[in-house]
Amino acid sequence: MENEIFQFARPYILYGFAVIPIFLILFILALRQKKRLIQTYGETRLIKELMPDVSASRPIWKFVLLMLAFSFLILSLAGPQFGIKLKESKRKGAELIIALDVSNSMLAEDIAPSRLDRSKQAISRLVDKLQADRIGLIIFAGEAYTQLPVTSDYVSAKMFLSTISPNLVPIQGTAIGQAISLASRSFSESTDADRAIIVISDGENHEDNPVEAAEDAAKKGITVDVVGVGSNNGVPIPIVENGLKTYMKDSEGNVVITKMDAKVLSQIATAGNGQFVVASGADMGLDVIMGQISKMKKTEYKAKIFTDYEDQYQWPLALAFLFLFLEIIILEKKNPWLRKIQLFSSNQKI
pLDDT tens figures, 298-335: 776 665 555 556 788 899 999 999 999 998 888 766 55
Give the residue with greater pLDDT, 96 vs 58: 96
Residue extents of the structural domains in the chain: 2-79+312-339, 90-303
Contact (CB, 8 A) for 80 and 8? yes
Give the residue with greater pLDDT, 35 vs 146: 146
Q: Average pLDDT in the 157-166 region?
A: 89
pLDDT tens digits for 72-120? 999 999 988 876 555 555 667 789 999 999 999 999 999 889 999 999 9
Residue 68 confidence (pLDDT) above 80: yes
pLDDT at 90: 66
Query: Cβ neighbours of residue 172 under 8 Å, at least 6 residues apart?
Result: 103, 104, 141, 142, 166
The class of domain 90-303 in CATH terms is: alpha beta
Q: From CA 62, how far away is CA 310, in angstroms rounded?
A: 33
- 235-236/222-228 β-pairing: unpaired
- 257-258/222-228 β-pairing: unpaired
Give the residue with greater pLDDT, 322 vs 285: 322
User: Which of the residue ranges 4-18, 101-115, 189-203 has the most confident prediction, judged by mean pLDDT?
Assistant: 101-115
Which of 287, 297, 257, 329 minimizes the C-alpha distance to 94?
A: 297
Please, what is the average pLDDT of the chain?
A: 83
> Taking the complete model, does pTM exceed 0.75, yes or no?
no
pLDDT at 83: 64
pLDDT at 206: 66
Per-residue three-class SS string for the chain:
CEEEEEEECCHHHHHHHHHHHHHHHHHHHHHHHHHHHHHCCCCHHHHHHHCCCECCCHHHHHHHHHHHHHHHHHHHHCCEEEEEEEEEEEEEECEEEEEEECCHHHHCCCCCCCHHHHHHHHHHHHHHHCCCCEEEEEEECCCEEEEEEEECCHHHHHHHHHCCCHHHCCCCCCCHHHHHHHHHCCCCCCCCCCEEEEEEECCCCCCCCHHHHHHHHHHCCEEEEEEECCCCCCEECEEEECCEEEECECCCCCECEECCCHHHHHHHHHHCCCCEEECCCCCCCHHHHHHHHCCCCCEEEEEEEECCCEECCHHHHHHHHHHHHHHHHCCCECCHHHHCCCCCCCCCCC
Give the residue with greater pLDDT, 96 vs 281: 96
Give the residue with greater pLDDT, 23 vs 90: 23
Q: Tell me the pLDDT band of 131, cut-offs 50, 70 and 90.
A: confident
Q: How many Cβ atoms are within 10 Å of 213's Cβ, its own excluded?
A: 26
Query: Cβ neighbours of residue 322 under 8 Å, at least 6 residues apart?
Result: 69
Region label for 63, one of left (φ > 0), alpha (ψ between -120 and 50) or beta (otherwise): alpha
* Residues 340, 343, 345: CA angle, nearest 5 degrees: 85
Residue 344 confidence (pLDDT) above 60: no
Q: Tell me the pLDDT band of 295, cut-offs 50, 70 and 90.
A: confident
Beta-bridge partner residues of 76: none
Residue 155 confidence (pLDDT) above 90: no
Give the residue with greater pLDDT, 201 vs 289: 201
Give the residue with greater pLDDT, 55 vs 287: 287
pLDDT tens digits for 209-226? 899 999 999 999 999 999
